Structure 1
């Protein structure tokens, strides 16, 4: 049957019409929420009001610069010590001004908190641990942790663990050295510090450094990836939707956290059973055993979930910060061989001068006492200088609970975040002088004796009422490990031309690791 020409569809025109309508509708659907978001960002922020900090962009600028975020903050900080980035609900103030930092961390401490947005972002990983909470929960954990870190039992036990694992680390490096192979020192250090924190924290020999714990290696990867994925939430406006739909990076995060939770809860159950069999032993060495004993006083509050959160917060403090700092430390020593040799000479002068050229690893680490470590002023200065330039936590901060005025004279509104950029601060000439970007341990010494700076200027261990309780604990571990390594090896970069940078996350990891060669300094027995 023939169809009259007048009734035949204009196929091309109809397709174009449908396509145009579809595109228009899609653009409209995208334009409406985008416009609403832009309106929320710029409304009520007092943008042109000179009483508030200068606006240098929106929160999306952090997304654009995410892979080099801390260097972006450094570039801006050199011309604007304090500036604002606008977010949908509040302004985020970034500062290198030591007056502002002292104000929010000490002088007006009670008017600043972690803030709901920060807690929403980190809770899945850190739960209600000490780094994520305020108020009574923070005070309770702080009090418990303060007591534990002050005990002689924990100090002696941890030092023994650090020395033993330092010996294992030297043996691991020796295998690469003998084979003349490059190795990733960050990976070895991560494994070593994980072994240490598991022994000190849980009383468990993980043996991750020796490669016998595949589950331990999987834990490192899951924990580090979770660290990075949670940090990504700060620049991902759709993270809550992704979490609800369990897609993309949020699906990966959920899988990692499930593995971490199962791993830690298994440890808690095992430790409970061990304690039930050792009820007559009151002198508990590891932190988990001591917290489990404490939990009996309030089992409803200090349940396994709460203990899990406490443990993971100790984990990031005890594993990431130390291993990251030592990784950057050996990077700087490889870039500055004269400084490396000066520290190695101090090691020989203080610890091994009376032991001859041949010494066993175990004999050497046994001689690393607190008294001798205290004499190593240049090593302490070099580690501190590393932390100045490569702080373990590159950005941290608080949120205003009320309207306020900072010491720099600018106002804040309730809900505004105030973040101090420790990485950027270490590179500011108006804080550290014209040689701020140089690695110079001597800046910390006066007639050969280490001289500390104000914690509001050197903020690598936080400051004020929340200053790091494990500061001495961390220095002790870093000194023992670096002393052992520098006694037996000289370190060189495997590739002088490779660009060494960081992975943007809560802690300052070296992106892709750090490959080194280790050249033996002396003969030694295994």
Structure 2
């Protein structure tokens, strides 16, 4: 504020000086001379303070400018690769916008400072809230302060209960078995399978079951409302991200035109679907005269007397964002990579057989039942393969916050109040200074020690699950679901791409979808055919 006033004084210095000369030329009365002297003194003090301010500002260094947000718009179809190219030139850089700078970093020291050391200075702020709240509401992903702390504490407690862990384990097993049966039908007809779509539906069924205790069953293709919800939810995801590069989205929303008109309709359908599920759940709880097994999240939430439908809806939507798309996209990229590298696929399958130690002719139900926490913990190579997938194809490729006050980062460069600050899991996974010369290679072994035991990296280097106070609450749930689905599918089938030469790309959304889906051919494993 001080510098702004001094700047105005500096711009007006000549007009002030001319005014003083006018006074002197018209009259030499003592009063006039005194007034002129005062004005001259103010001007000189202001000029001196301005120069001191400029010297102080020159001592601050700001990250190099690598382009503008217009470049993001031009490269939107390949946004994350474009940002990676910039990250290879500058570990941290700025893009200039109309109203603020955007600072992007792939430096773990800066990430740790932002997410942990000075956590309070970086949050969602009104900027991100305005973009995300139309779909996510006032929920854990869009708010800061006491509201965030309350929701975080509540969710953390529920995720840590044994009831929730056991219930989710059973849900994942049940839906993995359903997937095997659907794939079996496709195999018998020699049909290619769009596995990303199947995984999306199965993940949606799983999260809704854990959230509401309702069996949505979109995997079977019979629940048209659920399938429509999944489609519009994905489309809304893309349009929400587009707001970050669309300078006119607020005008379009006000006029209800273009992408904002479509988004408004999609959000309306999402809300209607969620309110319908929540209302039916609340009614079931209230009408029941018998004590229910309160294993799902909403039933347990209702026990706390929290019955505000919007609050429950906002939390539900955010759990779906966190639990559906993230798991399904990660699994889709895993299957893409193991189709490209059959050796890795076979190594995972071999580990799964050894960990369960069941007969080759065991039924899929018996096999799924054998996947206890202890058995899953034995699958160290599978855990490494999933982590390596997330290193190269993180479910959320970029995460942004707002700087609340001027600050200086560990790299010696400064950021300003109001700047948008972001770290880039997608780019960081490809940085040679972090992962070595083979950074862009898919190599699960990089995560294992000489005994084949998984060795985690710093969460500020491997940022797929965030870090610090906002680290992902569902991290262990996600790994559990991914390992169960992978183990069951790879125990019974071998997968390969339906078209080997096809180029697989991502779709630029909040989550890293495979554009156009992933078509694979499945065939029964030979040892099962011989048994």
TM range (shorter): 0.7 to 0.9
Paired position in structure 1 for 2:224: 214
**CA distance in structure 2 between the partners assigned to 1:315 and 1:415 by the alignment:** 30
Paired position in structure 1 for 2:320: 315
How many Å apart are 1:519 and its aligned residue?
1.2
Please, which runs of 5 or more residues in structure 2 have no aligned partner? 1-53
Structure 1, residues 388-428: CA drift from partner, whole Å, max 9, x if none? Answer: 00000000022110000011100111001110011000000
1:507 aligns with 2:511: yes
**CA distance in structure 2 between the partners assigned to 1:280 and 1:97 by the alignment:** 55
Q: Work out which of the residue numbers 501, 520, 527 in structure 2 matches 1:516.
A: 520
How many Å apart are 1:282 and its aligned residue?
6.5
Structure 1, residues 44-72: CA drift from partner, whole Å, max 9, x if none? Answer: 9x999971010111111110110000000
1:375 aligns with 2:378: yes
Structure 1, residues 319-353: CA drift from partner, whole Å, max 9, x if none? Answer: 000000000000000001000000000011111x3
Paired position in structure 1 for 2:27: none
**CA distance in structure 1 between the partners assigned to 2:94 and 2:63 by the alignment:** 6
CA contact (8 A) 1:325 1:390 kept: yes
Structure 1, residues 264-303: CA drift from partner, whole Å, max 9, x if none? Answer: 1111111111111236527411111112222x1x65xxx2
1:90 aligns with 2:100: yes
1:161 aligns with 2:171: yes
Paired position in structure 1 for 2:431: 428
Q: Work out which of the residue numbers 382, 387, 411 in structure 2 matches 1:384.
A: 387
**CA distance in structure 2 between the partners assigned to 1:132 and 1:279 by the alignment:** 37
Please, which runs of 5 or more residues in structure 1 have no aligned partner? 1-43
For residue 139 of structure 1, give the secondary structure of its aligned residue in structure 2: helix
**CA distance in structure 2 between the partners assigned to 1:137 and 1:82 by the alignment:** 31
Paired position in structure 1 for 2:473: 469
Paired position in structure 1 for 2:454: 450
CA contact (8 A) 2:140 2:318 kept: yes
**CA distance in structure 2 between the partners assigned to 1:167 and 1:114 by the alignment:** 39
Q: Work out which of the residue numbers 346, 354, 366 in structure 1 matches 2:351.
A: 346
**CA distance in structure 2 between the partners assigned to 1:49 and 1:118 by the alignment:** 31
1:199 aligns with 2:209: yes
For residue 517 of structure 1, give the secondary structure of its aligned residue in structure 2: strand
**CA distance in structure 2 between the partners assigned to 1:385 and 1:117 by the alignment:** 33
Q: Work out which of the residue numbers 99, 108, 114 in structure 2 matches 1:104.
A: 114
Comparing 269-278 and 451-460, the one that deviates more: 269-278
**CA distance in structure 1 between the partners assigned to 2:497 and 2:152 by the alignment:** 40
With the length of structure 1 as denominator, give the TM-score of the two structures.
0.88
**CA distance in structure 2 between the partners assigned to 1:138 and 1:445 by the alignment:** 36
1:327 aligns with 2:332: yes
**CA distance in structure 1 between the partners assigned to 2:227 and 2:72 by the alignment:** 31
The change in CA–CA distance for 1:237 and 1:48 in structure 2 (over 3 A counts) is farther
The change in CA–CA distance for 1:49 and 1:510 in structure 2 (over 3 A counts) is farther
CA contact (8 A) 2:358 2:367 kept: no
For residue 78 of structure 1, give the secondary structure of its aligned residue in structure 2: helix
1:182 aligns with 2:186: no
The change in CA–CA distance for 1:276 and 1:236 in structure 2 (over 3 A counts) is same
For residue 234 of structure 1, give the secondary structure of its aligned residue in structure 2: coil
CA contact (8 A) 1:400 1:415 kept: yes
1:229 aligns with 2:234: no
* Within-5 A mapping of 1:393-412: 393-412=396-415
CA contact (8 A) 1:444 1:452 kept: yes
Structure 1, residues 80-114: CA drift from partner, whole Å, max 9, x if none? Answer: 10000011121100110000000010000011111
**CA distance in structure 1 between the partners assigned to 2:374 and 2:229 by the alignment:** 35
The change in CA–CA distance for 1:327 and 1:72 in structure 2 (over 3 A counts) is same
CA contact (8 A) 2:60 2:414 kept: no
The change in CA–CA distance for 1:405 and 1:205 in structure 2 (over 3 A counts) is same
CA contact (8 A) 1:500 1:510 kept: yes
CA contact (8 A) 2:409 2:415 kept: yes
How many residues are treated as equivalent by the alignment? 474
Task: Please provide the CA RMSD for this pair.
Answer: 1.7
Paired position in structure 1 for 2:9: none
**CA distance in structure 2 between the partners assigned to 1:314 and 1:167 by the alignment:** 23
Q: Over alpha carbons, which structure has the higher Rg?
A: 2
CA contact (8 A) 1:104 1:398 kept: no
For residue 462 of structure 1, give the secondary structure of its aligned residue in structure 2: coil
With the length of structure 2 as denominator, give the TM-score of the two structures.
0.87
1:417 aligns with 2:428: no
Structure 1, residues 442-474: CA drift from partner, whole Å, max 9, x if none? Answer: 000012100000000000000000000100000
**CA distance in structure 2 between the partners assigned to 1:56 and 1:387 by the alignment:** 27
Paired position in structure 2 for 1:57: 67
**CA distance in structure 2 between the partners assigned to 1:105 and 1:50 by the alignment:** 22
Comparing 160-169 and 514-523, the one that deviates more: 514-523
